[in-house]
A and B are shown apart, each in its own frame.
Chain A
Amino acid sequence: MDQNTSHRYKRRGLKLLHLVGLFLAMLIICLPGLWIVLSSLRPTVEIMAKPPVWIPQDLSLDAYRAMFGGAGQGGIPVWEYFRNSLIISITSTIIALTVGMAGGYAFARYKFKGKSGIFLGFMLTRAVPGIALSLPLFMIFARVGIIDTHFAMILIYVALNVPFTIWLIDGFFRQVPKDLAEAAQIDGCTRWQAFWQVEFPLAGPGIASAGIFAFLTSWNEYALASQITRSVNSKTLPVGLLDYTSEFTIDWRGMCALAVVMIIPALTLTFIIQKHLVSGLTFGAVKG
């Protein structure tokens, strides 16, 4: 065997090891998700069995049938929850992105008094645990009379997401060289056109990822929603999960089924958008 061949074998061996390692890591990461899907398909006896039953014996879609079967037959108003979640998450994401874009751009491009102070202030709001705010929020919202409304939830999620979107989008606008907007202005753009024609498309991937984060935060948030929402008027899916607990029993199968229903839209959205997260788009703008 000459040196080249032995090198090649060595490289192939390493590559194989690498792939096996990756597979194991992914397995550990994906297992909980897989377990939820499996649990939604098996009877409670099997879920609670000790030692655990690894190979499912008895798979059925009963939980899903019951869930969408409507109240009375063990079902929950899943369509209403779904609608609420969708309205609240999408609206709050759009608002958070709009504010985040304006704010992020301002922080990235303009100099103003107290800039770093304000920025730090935004970040500090993230340091306060959300649950600590739930009681004051509940009291204020009750006073104002917006408990159990979409508006209240949207307000909360916008407040929750804006600091984060500003921070993330600021970073992406910083990566877009200032020269580009100036060149666009010389090329005949107004400040506004220069933003939309040049800076926005280049910061696009960043704005998209900020959008995903904001959406997922709102979609999955439980602690605050469980305080503020009361009925089908505004209950979101995570709060809806609690419908499966009663005084003495917990319907694990139903809960897992609803969890699957929750995961699917989030996963789909992330999948669609992440294709647009082409990084390195700004490469080649400046310098040689």
Chain B
Amino acid sequence: MAPVTLKKLVKSYGNVDVVHGIDLEVKDREFIALVGPSGCGKSTTLRMIAGLEDISGGVVEIGGKPVNDLPPRARNISMVFQSYALYPHMTVRENMGFSLKIGKVAQSDIDTRVNEAAAILDLDKLMDRRPSQLSGGQRQRVAMGRAIVRQPDVFLFDEPLSNLDAKLRTQVRTEIKRLHAKVQSTMIYVTHDQVEAMTLSDRIVIMRDGHIEQVGTPEEVFKRPATRFVAGFIGSPPMNLNDATVADGKLVFAGGQSLPLPIAFRGKVAAGDKVIFGLRPDDIYPTGHGLNSGEATDVHEMELPVSITEPLGNETLLFVTMAQREWVSRMLNPRPMEAGEMVKFSFDLSQAHLFSPETGKTLRS
């Protein structure tokens, strides 16, 4: 059980920096997800915490002590690899007990701890099989079992679900969450899938190009994205983002169509300012089919043509054309709708975001 602190952590290969001095504090027993597109430095950061990658600059602290010079084995961590990395020449039981055997723990203790972990993960019946005789999901569980047996201070997960099919992924995701509730260790989880990050973690770290864009709870990063990138990355389907110019209490889009300036931003932007306007699909809906129909405080209504409908059963995604661009709208309690139909849409502007086109940062402050 230990907090993990990164201070001005840098990783460079030759002259190329891939992680640019990031700072992060992971609290004891916290589940934190590092998320971002591929190449954003999240895996490299994790591997630096694990000690598998040399640290080019800055400090990694585990349990309050710098570990820069400690080899992986001395950091008391466990890691679940994307490839599972099970030892193919050992049985499941040997795989799980390997770290204890290396640590010269008595065989009877090894057995107890391995059996405990097996019970948690429901692996009892597979103990004498080899990894090649297991399915993907089972291998994944063995990899987690191997991590638990070590009773580490910190669990590290490197995209552990990306080799599983979609159905299994949801299932194992829940198992990981349950595991965290049970073992109460600090967990750092790397993924490129924002849904995994949202569902699992206490806090999310969104990374891009070796920088941290935002750190916050799933609710914070969803409701109050700090940058345009976070706004576009978190949420599915992604937020509608469009360039606009502020003019006299209005936001004017390309082609001349406009929306009123959201109340929350009045006084924060001046006429002539260029901004990026963002509004989630949930906040654009055919009038009467929204999340908070009737209660929203800053709603603007507009008739627009529907170009494509994507029914999902409980809801329908509508693509509408406005300002020379398609906007995605989410219709709850859907009614049948034809493409080309003119529909009255509500824009809930109390949920709108404005970002600066230069810095990408939010203009809400």
Using a CB–CB cutoff of 8 Å, the interface residues on chain A facing chain B are: 177, 179-180, 182-191, 193, 197-198, 201-202, 281-288
Chain B residue contacts of A198, Cβ below 8 A: 87, 89
Check A190/B71 contact, CB under 8 A, given A284-B88, A285-B88. Answer: yes
* B70-102 vs A, Cβ < 8 Å mask (1 yes, 0 no): 011100011101011111110000000011001
Partner pick for A186 among B79, B103, B134, CB 8 A cutoff: B79
Which 9 residue pairs are nearest across A and B when measured between Cβ atoms? Answer: A288-B136, A284-B132, A286-B83, A187-B99, A179-B85, A183-B85, A284-B131, A285-B88, A188-B102
Which residues of chain B (94-119) have a CB below 8 Å from chain A? 98-99, 102-103
Contact B52 A185 (CB under 8 A): yes
Contact B98 A282 (CB under 8 A): no
Contact A288 B85 (CB under 8 A): no
Minimum CB–CB distance for B360 against chain A, Å: 35
Flag whether B146 is at the interface (Cβ < 8 A). yes
Minimum CB–CB distance for B76 against chain A, Å: 9
Partner pick for A281 among B89, B137, B164, CB 8 A cutoff: B89
Contact B102 A180 (CB under 8 A): no
Contact B88 A282 (CB under 8 A): yes
CA distance A186 to B147 in the complex (A): 10
Contact B83 A284 (CB under 8 A): no
Check A281/B88 contact, CB under 8 A, given A185-B52, A288-B163, A288-B164. Answer: yes
Flag whether B150 is at the interface (Cβ < 8 A). yes
CA distance A193 to B71 in the complex (A): 13
Check A186/B78 contact, CB under 8 A, given A283-B88, A288-B136. Answer: yes
Closest Cβ neighbor of A182 among chain B residues: B52
Minimum CB–CB distance for A241 against chain B, Å: 43
Using a CB–CB cutoff of 8 Å, the interface residues on chain B facing chain A are: 50-52, 71-73, 77-79, 81, 83-89, 98-99, 102-103, 130-137, 139-140, 146, 150, 163-164
Chain A residue contacts of B77, Cβ below 8 A: 186
Minimum CB–CB distance for A139 against chain B, Å: 48
Contact B102 A197 (CB under 8 A): yes
Chain B residue contacts of A284, Cβ below 8 A: 86, 88, 130-134, 139
CA distance A233 to B96 in the complex (A): 55
A-B contacts, 9 of them at CB < 8 A, read A183-B146, A186-B73, A187-B73, A188-B102, A202-B89, A281-B89, A284-B86, A286-B83, A288-B164
Chain A residue contacts of B133, Cβ below 8 A: 284
CA distance A281 to B139 in the complex (A): 16
CA distance A211 to B86 in the complex (A): 27
Minimum CB–CB distance for A169 against chain B, Å: 17
Closest Cβ neighbor of A187 among chain B residues: B99
Check A287/B99 contact, CB under 8 A, given A179-B85, A182-B52, A182-B85. Answer: no
Chain B residue contacts of A191, Cβ below 8 A: 71
Check A188/B103 contact, CB under 8 A, given A183-B85, A283-B88, A284-B130. Answer: yes
Check A187/B146 contact, CB under 8 A, given A180-B87, A285-B131. Answer: yes
CA distance A185 to B78 in the complex (A): 10
Contact A201 B102 (CB under 8 A): no
CA distance A184 to B50 in the complex (A): 12
Partner pick for A187 among B89, B102, B130, B140, CB 8 A cutoff: B102
Contact A188 B73 (CB under 8 A): yes
Of residues B71, B72, B130, B146, which shows the largest number of chain A Cβ atoms within 10 Å of its Cβ? B72
Contact A185 B72 (CB under 8 A): yes
CA distance A177 to B163 in the complex (A): 16
Chain B residue contacts of A177, Cβ below 8 A: 83, 85
CA distance A177 to B84 in the complex (A): 11
